[in-house]
Amino acid sequence: MRDVRVSEKVVIGPGHPLVLICGPCVIEEKPVMATTAEHLKLVTERLGLPLIFKSSYEKDNRSSENLYKGPGLMEGLRVLSWIRREYDLPVLSDVHRETDCAPAAEVLDVLQIPAYLCQQTSLLLAAGRTGKTINVKKGQFLAPHNMSSAISKLESSGNRRILLTERGSCFGYNNLVADITSVPIMQDLGYPVVFDAGHIVRKYGIPSQDPSGGAPRFIPHLIRVGVAAGANALFFETHPNPQQARCDAATQVPLEEVEGILTEAMELASLVRRWGRA
């Protein structure tokens, strides 16, 4: 498994510290973004945990055209550029179409391919050609070894700065489960693996603003499982007031609970790394 350098301070791979990818699901008003970025920076610096700030400038897979999708490409990139500069943090956002990749790469340290687009050849090639780190979320409809296809497409563009994310597998129509074997299976494909504990607990078919649309109380349990399996990075979303979040309200961790969750994760990660399993 190769190392992937995201920025001067953040390297993801075997033998390196656990890395956190975290932030609000979608870019909201500036006070929400500033509060979240400042708190995450303070907590992760205190714990010695490298941080990549995540927030999407667009969520293109909402269940209704009337729901908030984000500020859009240009305004969203302005916000992420400000966060990158103001808080000295690498930043990540989803990209949904080929034409987004070049302008997004001018700001983002990591371009993320959403799970439902992980087989989109044209998008993967355009993202790969930017030379930036590409985080591909495994589609919930794919077996982990099938991610070799996404890898092949990115490598054909000359890009080997690749991360693979486990975010759950279909269990019936509206539920996801964590297949923890995905972590070592995808690592065997040659690249670091991110474990997304938040989207696994989403209850699809129920609006994300409905409290029954997710089961966030299980996120700390899943994080511990992902770390124990040897994941190289963790992914979850957080918000100062999840009930008022404009997207994925039912699956975001309250900002005030982040430090406790990460403290446990870091203790477990230290043990796993002493054993040489990550």
Topology annotation, domain 4-274: TIM Barrel (3.20.20)
208's tokens: 């994300």
List the one residue out of 184, 243, 172 whose CA is nearest residue 214.
243
Task: Tell the burial category of 30 from Cβ atoms under 10 Å away from its Cβ (0-12, 13-18, 19+).
Answer: exposed
**Which sequence spans correspond to the domains of the chain?**
4-274
List the one residue out of 127, 129, 97 whose CA is nearest residue 111.
127
Q: How far is CA 65 from CA 41, 62, 70, 137, 165, in A?
A: 34, 7, 12, 23, 27
Give pLDDT tens digits along the chain (278 positions).
Answer: 999 999 999 999 999 999 999 999 999 999 999 999 999 999 999 999 999 999 999 988 776 787 788 899 999 999 999 999 999 999 999 999 999 999 999 999 999 999 999 999 999 999 999 999 999 999 999 999 999 999 999 999 999 999 999 999 999 888 899 999 999 999 999 999 999 999 999 887 777 777 777 889 999 999 999 999 999 999 999 999 999 999 998 999 999 999 999 999 999 999 999 888 78
249's tokens: 């309200």
Q: CA 93, 124, 1, 170 torsion: positive or negative?
A: positive
For helices 219-228 and 258-274, angle between their N-to-C axes, nearest 10 degrees: 20
DSSP 145-205: GGGHHHHHHHHHTT---EEEEE--EEETTTEEE--TTHHHHHHTTTS-EEEE-SGGGB-TT
Q: What are phi and psi of 235, to 5 degrees?
A: -135, 125
DSSP 28-91: --HHHHHHHHHHHHHHHHHHT--EEEE-BS--TT-SSTTS---S-HHHHHHHHHHHHHHHT--E
pTM for this structure?
Answer: 0.96
Do 87 and 104 contact (CB within 8 A), yes or no?
no
Return d(Cα 63, Cα 66) in angstroms, integer.
9
Place of tokens 């995540």: 54
